[in-house]
Structure 1
């Protein structure tokens, strides 16, 4: 059996267990397709380049909750007591994990920026390491990394996230001031593995410079 069918059958079984009612097979398949990032079940079936059979090779899974919202809003005849999209997503994630289809990270937020920020804050060195030269040119201790802007661009092969932000610190009071803020841009490239939501952990490229704007601020002149 195929993974989409297994997922659809699981949703139907869970819905019947919870409510005693039936969820139609076509409805379940459409919801599963949306979960995997496809607008229709037919589009998912037509996928050949990134088959779901490769999902076990991926490291990050990003369910498409917004597309699921859209499909729930447009599919006709869905049960009135159908669980919400968050609950459906949890059911499918738990199923994929418990059945051994996927053992990586699930990013379930409706806002991808939240998951990216949490990922970076869990290991700030993935960005700070790309700023070693700038850090060394100052006399400051850096311990606060802020991401201020996010830009996401999906392509056929990858998801590219461009982050802009700042690394902030505190100058050593016994040494000359050479800046205590570094502004940076980081490009994160997530290689697509399976479906439209399964990726490898990202490759990062970071560029930055010491923020010297305060040197020219009249308040500091």
Structure 2
């Protein structure tokens, strides 16, 4: 069926081009443009996709023609007709054919740039859902969030089984006078995944997840540092290494004194075993090539008791 559907699309493209211009479009050119429309770099790749064949397009909820890939392919094909319609017009013609001939009932998202579509349409339409998922973080502020955030697309990953979009934004609210100020801006990310069903661009309905935190740039840096210290005072060594107490307990290491002849300790050298988790060691900034690092003479002091200030 994949062969049949791609051929039907290619034949329709050739017929419509002939009707529009009176000229002929080569079959070899038409099938490559159709493959790009479905998200493939070549017609051979389209035919080789047995996991997500395009004949399953009739089961898709969403179909996103790859206009950008059509543009790439037409630049690489030689001897194309000079009056060939634009890439977006080719995509519109093929999308209309699929819908009119009932090869798909999917919602077709057609735009020259998918990234632009995400920024201008998809994320805007999903804002109520995003706000609902961020409602807990919003409650930590003293602001009302009524404005549309300005998004930035961090990545669009075309994975084997899904298309994944990651976007980030600041949600700037308006402070409410009836609550003490506790922040009016949220930093957040949105992850949207499209499970693949037909070809490279036919999907089930998408899943969306929004995660964020209150932007605390308004807080005095000295207060933030002090607050961080109050959390981490259980282990001065962990603070110096930049890791948590739990991560420190997972590490195997030896401690060596760097002292004068009369016993005055200048600092300590921590030598970590090569058998430690490399990802955990990578969190420690300043390790030398032998997995060693110097720490201050106070690194092994007892943490202050909360009763010391009473």
Q: Same fold (TM over 0.5)?
A: yes
Equivalent position of 1:183 in the other structure? 187
Out of 92-101 and 144-153, give the one that drifted further: 144-153
Equivalent position of 1:113 in the other structure? 115
Q: Equivalents in 2 of 1:82, 1:113: separation in Å?
A: 25
* Cα drift, residue 196 of structure 1: 0.8
2:12 is matched with which residue: 10, 13, 17?
Answer: 10
Q: Equivalents in 2 of 1:43, 1:27: separation in Å?
A: 15
Equivalent position of 1:81 in the other structure? 83
The structure with the larger Rg is: 2
Instruction: Give deviations 1:39-78, integer Å, cap 9, x for gaps.
Output: 2212111111101111122222222222211221122222
**Structure 1 spans left out of the alignment, 5+ residues:** none
Matched, 1:127 2:114: no
Count of residue correspondences: 218
For the structure 1 residues 82 and 149, does the alpha-carbon distance in structure 2 shift closer, same or farther, using more than 3 Å as the test?
closer
Instruction: Give deviations 1:144-200, integer Å, cap 9, x for gaps.
Output: 223134311111000111111122211112321121111111211110111111122
For the structure 1 residues 88 and 184, does the alpha-carbon distance in structure 2 shift closer, same or farther, using more than 3 Å as the test?
same
Matched, 1:22 2:43: no
SS of residue paired to 1:73:
helix
Work out whether residues 120 and 126 of structure 1, in 8 Å CA contact, stay in contact via their aligned partners in 2: no
Q: Equivalents in 2 of 1:53, 1:46: separation in Å?
A: 13
Matched, 1:198 2:198: no
Correspondence 1:149-168 to 2 at 5 A: 149-168=153-172
**Structure 2 spans left out of the alignment, 5+ residues:** 223-310
Instruction: Give deviations 1:82-114, integer Å, cap 9, x for gaps.
Output: 111111111011111111222333233333222
1:140 is matched with which residue: 130, 140, 143?
Answer: 143
* Cα drift, residue 217 of structure 1: 7.3
SS of residue paired to 1:205:
strand
* Cα drift, residue 37 of structure 1: 1.3
Equivalent position of 2:57 in the other structure? 55
For the structure 1 residues 156 and 8, does the alpha-carbon distance in structure 2 shift closer, same or farther, using more than 3 Å as the test?
same
Equivalent position of 1:214 in the other structure? 218
For the structure 1 residues 162 and 123, does the alpha-carbon distance in structure 2 shift closer, same or farther, using more than 3 Å as the test?
closer
Work out whether residues 143 and 167 of structure 1, in 8 Å CA contact, stay in contact via their aligned partners in 2: no
Equivalent position of 1:38 in the other structure? 40
* Cα RMSD (Å): 1.8
For the structure 1 residues 49 and 13, does the alpha-carbon distance in structure 2 shift closer, same or farther, using more than 3 Å as the test?
same
For the structure 1 residues 151 and 76, does the alpha-carbon distance in structure 2 shift closer, same or farther, using more than 3 Å as the test?
same
